[in-house]
Amino acid sequence: MTGALRRFVYPLFERHLIWLLLALIVLIGTTVPGFVSVRNFTNVLWAAAPLGCMVLGLFFVLLTAELDLSLESTFAVAPTVAVLVISMIENLMNLFGVEPSIRQVVFGLILLGAIYLASLQGRMRLEAESA
């Protein structure tokens, strides 16, 4: 890329990239049926809500002059681990022929155990910081 073109294109993209993205959304929205719809917009908001909550929480952590970047890796790895554990437990229950009503109780107990372990980890971290 020549120097004059580089001096023109880079500032244009740095300052006006949002307009290019909006033009692409309008172009795609007019060509793909159902893209610009209330249902699609609602699905996008539902999908972005957990990430938005995480970002808001991390904002307050950084605002208090702390630095905790482990949240992003947890946010990425935790659903994968949960799916693997649940599918493994489901396969074991199918193998032993456990009835559906008992499965719900087992999954509820596993969820309560995970919540309890998470609260213990939080308490241990607070005690370590105060010591």
Minimal CA–CA distance to 76: which of 106, 47, 51, 45? 51
Q: Are 29 and 35 in contact (CB under 8 A)?
A: yes
Residue 95 has pLDDT above 80, yes or no: yes
**Sequence spans of domains, the chain:** 1-36, 38-68, 69-131
Q: Are 8 and 1 in contact (CB under 8 A)?
A: no
Q: Is the pTM of this model over 0.75?
A: no
pLDDT digits (tens, 9 = 90+) for 27-69: 888 888 888 888 988 998 999 898 888 888 888 878 887 766 6
